[in-house]
Chains A and B, each alone.
Chain A
């Protein structure tokens, strides 16, 4: 992520990252709108034909609805992530929103970003600054999907959330890609109290609990 410089202002860095993620997700927005448009056109043209049973449009109404849901989730995530984070930050909610945005940009590489949560999940409120936590979650996911486009199918990114006595743990892994914390944001994250470990394909992040 060479475009991420190291600005002093963590909030500015966060907005810069969010903008980049949205630019990449824009194709997904267009695809969703195209899907809505085409499916509505099927409904319109079939509605004009008396020989077409009403039930024949159901599938396309559902498809259009699904595309609108996809858009709504994405835009909700953007709206929330565009605002200042309340303290203490909820790591689980932030991870889900970040994953929604990355999932949209990763879909250009035909790869999914999944989030699984431990069944025994405790409170995921953290003492870490909201913008720092967002950067810690978004930066590695964006880095992992950089360079992937539709001509090279990327592997799925799996995020798992669990809670320990002192920390909330997030692991990010991919089958065929290295998931690591970009060097450019490492200093800010360390200063913000975020810890992490890396092995070949997995990055584990630790956020101190509130």
Chain B
């Protein structure tokens, strides 16, 4: 891989010529400027992974250059080189964000130290550069692979996937049922070097022990009664690809031992077989269980947990990312209206109120099913509350008695949740909601309208397809504008 360039800023030509030659001899591309201002000009025109700056230079000295780099957030790592080393200037340089500090004379020992420092500084620069590019790429994303969400918490998930996918590390995906754990696994596979290999998903809770073992490791002919042919298991069939083990905490412990062995030796043995078979597999696992409890209860081997949980991705429940409900609901509406040949374009205000206030224990899957059902049931061009609210939840059905406010939420968000949930629990009666909460009906309405106001407006979404190719998607229809204006309040993105 080509190294980023190095910039030497020093007015002493006798030193810069030699230093440039030394660095070029070990493969770096080096530019030289004679003062701090010229260094800033060069950095404005081109990217440099490392700047070697003399402390004393004409026009802008090393420390001022460093301060400007920090102030203007110019991406580079700065190593201060000086013949006037003092503790104060060293401390000041490091405090101002210098990567390191080297004193002249640049004898063999110092030059060796410099040559050792530069790759580390370049590594840091490249990691930060990757993060900057990633953050910039993910900013504004509403879709990532098959995942949908624009909340901060989902963007963090995208960022982890982007960083982890190219590695070979096992990943443990945590999250409630319906949060999209398999979609995360698919995204990890699709964005990895194994994308051309198979993706094999297996639900460990859905299969009896013998069948699960057989599915994973295969069997030899005659391994058990009725096994008249040999069969490859998931490890063999997916070699070069990825296996996704959903509900992995439900896996019987004796299979966990075999799985651990397979992960550590990269070899498996079919049921009834004597031959070790080499496999090349990346394991992604998911669970909605409390793993610490499962380990204490002996349901999950601790060594397997640590082997699988090299990286953990925690998928937030839908109720903690209310910002995504509108995006998801509109997307499902468009999809199912099209599939069912219906001209439904929007949710009615009351339907939105319910969608936003319901706590979605079944997460995205439940929302998807609710919208699909509503599209099928709706008779007009809009979806009303009677279409979207399941029969068993109408009236005083299963409405949340507890409001969960995540740490980090603002007081305005807490108030909003309280009003919405209370409103839902009163079957949409603003008068009763006001009485329960001890606020006026007007305040209830203002809160509800304010919420809709904040969520209105078309959303132009950008998605990154599994191939990594960016696609522009049409703007989604926003929820209906409220009849009257309400004071706008700052909204922190849901977590």
Contacts and interface: CB of A to CB of B under 8 A. Distances in A.
Contact of A37 (B58, B64, B84, B106): B106
Nearest to A32: B14
B490 interface: no
B418 interface: no
Given A60-B18, A150-B58, A150-B61, A38 B106 contact: yes
B58 A38 contact: no
Contact of A66 (B14, B21, B60, B105): B14
Contact of B108 (A35, A44, A52, A59): A44
Contacts of B105: 30, 33-34, 37
A45 B22 CA distance: 8
B15 A60 contact: no
Interface residues of B, number: 25
A206 to B, nearest CB: 35
A39 B14 CA distance: 8
Contacts of B104: 30, 34
Interface size class of A (residues with CB under 8 A): 20 to 34
Nearest to B14: A35
Contact of B25 (A32, A45, A110): A45
B15 A31 contact: yes
Nearest to A28: B12
A38 B83 contact: no
A31 B17 CA distance: 13
Interface in B442-479: none
A46 interface: yes
In terms of DSSP, what is the predominant structure of the interface of chain A? helix
A52 B22 CA distance: 13
A67 interface: yes
B11 interface: yes
B219 interface: no
B108 A150 contact: no
A32 B18 CA distance: 12
A94 interface: no
Contact of B61 (A31, A110, A151): A151
B4 to A, nearest CB: 22
Contacts, number: 82
B14 A63 contact: yes
A38 B11 contact: no
Interface string B73-86: 00000000001100
Contacts of A44: 108
Contact of B107 (A41, A52, A110): A41
Contacts of B84: 27
A67 B17 CA distance: 13
Contacts of A66: 14
B259 to A, nearest CB: 51
Nearest to B115: A45
Given A37-B106, A60-B17, A150 B111 contact: no
B21 A42 contact: yes
B56 A38 contact: no
B111 A38 contact: yes
Given A60-B21, A108-B56, A150-B58, A38 B15 contact: yes
B59 interface: yes
A152 B84 CA distance: 18
A156 B17 CA distance: 24
B110 to A, nearest CB: 9
B164 interface: no
B57 interface: yes
Contacts of A38: 14-15, 18-19, 22, 106, 111
A172 interface: no
A109 interface: yes
Contacts of B107: 37, 41
A153 interface: yes
A41 B19 CA distance: 9
B18 A39 contact: yes
Interface string B98-140: 0000001111100100000000000000000000000000000
Most buried by A among B14, B22, B59, B83: B14
Nearest to A46: B25
Given A110-B58, A151-B59, A41 B15 contact: no
Given A37-B105, A63-B17, A42 B22 contact: yes
Interface in B13-61: 14-15, 17-19, 21-22, 25, 56-61
Contacts of B19: 38
Most buried by A among B58, B59, B104: B58
Contacts of A27: 56, 83-84
Contacts of B21: 42, 60
B14 A42 contact: no
Contact of A41 (B14, B56, B59, B111): B111
A81 to B, nearest CB: 24
Interface in A50-71: 52, 59-60, 63, 66-67
B59 A153 contact: yes
A35 B84 CA distance: 15
Contacts of A42: 18, 21-22, 25
B83 A41 contact: no
Contacts of B59: 151-153
Given A108-B56, A151-B60, A153-B58, A30 B83 contact: yes
Nearest to B107: A37
Nearest to B61: A151
Please name the 6 residue pairs, one residue from A and one from B, whose CB atoms are nearest each other, closest first: A35-B14, A38-B18, A39-B18, A110-B58, A37-B105, A30-B83
30 contacts: A27-B84, A30-B104, A30-B105, A31-B12, A31-B83, A34-B15, A34-B106, A35-B12, A35-B15, A35-B18, A36-B14, A38-B14, A42-B25, A44-B108, A45-B22, A46-B25, A60-B18, A60-B21, A63-B18, A67-B14, A108-B56, A110-B58, A149-B56, A150-B58, A150-B61, A151-B58, A151-B60, A152-B58, A152-B59, A153-B59
Given A63-B18, A152-B59, 19 more contacts: A27-B56, A30-B83, A30-B104, A30-B105, A31-B14, A34-B15, A34-B83, A34-B104, A37-B105, A39-B17, A42-B18, A42-B22, A49-B25, A59-B17, A63-B17, A108-B56, A150-B57, A151-B59, A151-B64
